[in-house]
Structure 1
């Protein structure tokens, strides 16, 4: 399957890209996201998140953190794909995992990255995706979720910023979907939060798309503390 790097797409191509982003960014995509809460379960248990405003603040913080880490890695992985630099793809994958300080976030990104590829190879015929899944199964690379997203979007000609936007939307939806099952919040509240936090995604896309790989960082002590709390929790609905 050829990789289209042309950015001067006509309207049918743009619409197809939109549809592809909708498909692979769907919160119901069977990649295991329903098993994870991105830390919001512990945040609710300790009282840090307890209403609409505190939940919104948690989502905004998580999007900011993702923009400064996973989204930067996604951008560099997708550019490496376009350049045919597979060693760089492997390097970016390791860089992302090395910035996951707690075990639960490592499990989350690797499990979802692998499940996404296992599903996609049945949908898209692309040698690079088969190569990537083979490396994951062989233990030659962690297979982080953002890198898998980058490769899947890249082979379809979706732009880097479109792929980052998809990733950011997924972060917000994972948290809000989990919160829906953990606290008193209506679907109307969730959609209002999503609508409002989405306003920041274009700026986060711009930041991540233009950042150097060395700028990728995941320094969010509170989230790591919440992850530690979650490991020892007596009752857990989610894996993280």
Structure 2
């Protein structure tokens, strides 16, 4: 069980107020909204589907693997996982959003935490030796602060979910009360996606959500956008 400091660290980095750039993303939701393919009642099922078939198999799996590698002090493997995750993202929009958020996270994380591997990875990101995808940056920051792999994955999936629901609010697909109901209903899905990511082999990294990829591709070319993704 995590001690209080580790728990507070996971809460801090998963908080919507943390300046990682998550507030600029809809994680594909705006594309669905523009195409009129999601309604108020469809927000939670869409979130659950993305967690189980896209974010879980890709980002969460990479985070779990990178966290274990960081714990072992293997920065070369962390970089390999980072590059694999970047290559697995089909849409330029999703790659760009992940890297922008990752760079902000690792930059601030290295400033807040004195840790050799964290500093080394942050240096590689600044030199563009590695992409710096958000889940991998999160993995390194969490590992440097002693947060367990399971808690790190669950925290990041919750951060994604909270950001998704926040986007639904701004897109007027939900209200504040229903948003909390959606998050609570999604807790079991986050747990399921977390456990699957912990068990998944790195060779199996990568989600399969064709419609989400299509919506992202359409969103890239939208005439007006509220969100970066």
> Normalising by structure 2, what TM-score?
0.96
Provide the residue aligned with 2:105 in structure 1: 116
Give deviations 1:41-96, integer Å, cap 9, x for gaps: 01111111121x20111111121121111111111111111222221111100111
Residues 1:107 and 2:96 are matched in the alignment:
yes
Unaligned runs of 5+ in 2: none
**Aligned twin of 1:54:** 42
User: How far 1:37 sits from its partner (Å)?
Assistant: 0.7
Per-residue deviation at 1:239? 1.1
Question: Structure 2 matches for 1:50-199, cutoff 5 A?
Answer: 50-51=39-40, 53-64=41-52, 65-199=54-188
Q: In 1, are the aligned partners of 2:50 and 2:209 still within 8 Å (CA)?
A: no
Structure (1 or 2) with the larger CA radius of gyration? 1
What is the CA distance between 1:218 and its match in structure 2?
2.1
Report the CA distance shift for 1:67/1:194 in structure 2 as closer, same or farther (over 3 A): same
Q: Is the 8 A contact 2:103 2:134 kept in 1?
A: yes
- 1:121 is paired with a residue of what secondary structure? helix
Residue in structure 2 matching 1:39, options 19, 24, 28: 28
Q: Does the residue aligned with 2:120 lie in a helix, a strand or coil? A: helix
Q: Which residue of 2 aligns with 1:3?
A: none
Alpha-carbon RMSD: 1.2
Matched, 1:201 2:212: no
Segment drifting more, 42-51 vs 159-168? 42-51
Shift of 1:120: 1.5
Tell me, in whole angstroms, the C-alpha distance in 2 between the residues paired with 1:228 and 1:211: 28
Work out the CA distance in 1 between the residues paired with 2:120 and 2:173. Answer: 44
Number of aligned residue pairs: give it.
228
- Once residues 184 and 114 of structure 1 are traced to their aligned partners in structure 2, the CA distance between those partners, rounded to angstroms, is 30
Distance 1:177 1:107 in 2: 20
What SS does the corresponding residue of 2:39 show, helix, strand or coil? coil
Provide structure 1 residue ranges, at least 5 long, that are not aligned to the other structure: 1-8
Q: Is the 8 Å Cα contact of residues 129 and 152 (structure 1) preserved in structure 2? A: yes
Q: What is the CA–CA distance in structure 2 between the aligned matches of 1:140 and 1:57, rounded to whole Å? A: 38
Paired residue for 1:227?
Answer: 216
Q: Is the 8 A contact 2:26 2:163 kept in 1?
A: yes
